Amino acid sequence: MGATVTTANSDEKTWSGGNEPMAASYGKLMMWFFIVSDALTFSGFLAAYGFSRFKFIDTWPIADEVFTHFPFMHGVSAPMYYVALMTFILIFSSVTMVLAVDAGHQLNKAKVAFYMFLTIIGGLIFVGSQAWEWKNFIKGEYGAVETKGGSLLQFVDATGKHIKLEDFAVRLPEERVQLNRNNGEWFMDEPALPSYSVAEVQAGFKAHPDVLVRTQVNYQDNEANRNDPTLNHSLNKIKHKTILTRAESEKMLANASLVVEGANLVRNEYGNKLFADFFFFITGFHGFHVFSGVIINIIIFFNVISGTYERRRSYEMVEKVGLYWHFVDLVWVFVFTVFYLV
């Protein structure tokens, strides 16, 4: 009884035919290994975010109040509209990548180049949009005050509408100089000064009796809150921040220690600072993946138009980068769900 022996001189190449593990070439298999390992990394980040949110659920920012901007629509509240548009553009770029891969199977150079160009444009729009979201998040919109105990105080009008510090704060005849090594102690330094001081916010609050304070705690409709005399029961709503009475607002504001504008890794005008930490890290990590994918797509695009893959009679490189692109799109679906929808 004879035995079949496969040698290096066999007509079948190890990674190009019958000997392929799982019917995948070496390059595709390595790409799948990378995708699986990266998926585990993102899963760990999102799980950490979920546990942190569950622990601090009462003070977690409400996405509809944070992401309200839309380009060229200043002063218009458009909660989640632009984020939804960003998501649609990224998903649509995944569709154009599918079309590019399909055109590669047909050895249609012109269509591959066209659809890859659309994919690159979609990726660039998404990365630019994410940077624009970061800018708005860092800059902030309303401003808030932090008390000596670390509580965050935001402000609303008589109807419960969230208002900006500039809507009621007053300018006082005082000069405030930012501390740095040139005009302070050699070891003293501080970030840029806020638009208003604590005293100016307190004076403006006193001059506007219709302004109220709302805390970073999300309101719960339970018996304890319904019987709490410090809460403004006519304005409080479920899934909104807790609004205090005028008397309690004055009491809380008296303990103010600093003005918070925007968000960074230390403070967040919208609520718990961990939200900002996770937002910057996870969306930044994903944005890095998308930007890397755009760079790779550009390299492959120039190879396509130069005829490299046409001469090889194979567009497998387009398939490989397509796997990566679909992965970053799928990851964004989970990031979008966790940060913006849930």
pLDDT, tens digit (0-9, with 9 covering 90-100), for 183-220: 555 445 556 778 899 999 999 999 999 999 999 888 88
Q: Note whether 301 and 116 are within 8 A (CB).
A: yes
Q: What is the pLDDT of residue 107?
A: 93
Write the pLDDT tens digit of every residue in 22-36. 566 777 888 889 999
Residue 206 CA to residue 103 CA, distance in Å, equals: 68
Q: Alpha helix locations (H) across 184-241?
A: 198-207, 223-226
Both tokens of 68, joined, read 């309200």
Grade residue 7 by pLDDT with cuts at 50, 70 and 90. very low
| Side-chain-facing half-sphere of 162: CA atoms under 13 Å | 20
Task: Supply the pLDDT for residue 58.
Answer: 86
Distance CA 90, CA 290 (A): 9
In whole angstroms, give the CA distance from residue 267 to residue 273.
5
How much is the average pLDDT of 59-71? 89
Q: Where are the domains of the chain?
A: 23-140+275-341, 144-261
* Burial class of residue 157 (count of CB atoms within 10 Å of its CB; 0-12, 13-18, 19+): middle
CA distances from 23 to 13, 17, 340 (A): 13, 8, 39
Q: Which residues contact 224 (CB under 8 A, 6 or more apart)?
A: none
* pLDDT tens-digit map of 230-244: 998 888 888 788 999
Res. 19: pLDDT tops 60 = no
pTM of the model: 0.84
Residues 27, 32, 38, 40: is their CA dihedral positive or negative?
A: negative
Whether the per-residue pLDDT at 265 is higher than 50: the answer is yes
Q: Share the mean pLDDT of the chain.
A: 87
Does the domain at 23-140+275-341 match CATH 1.10.40.60? Answer given as no
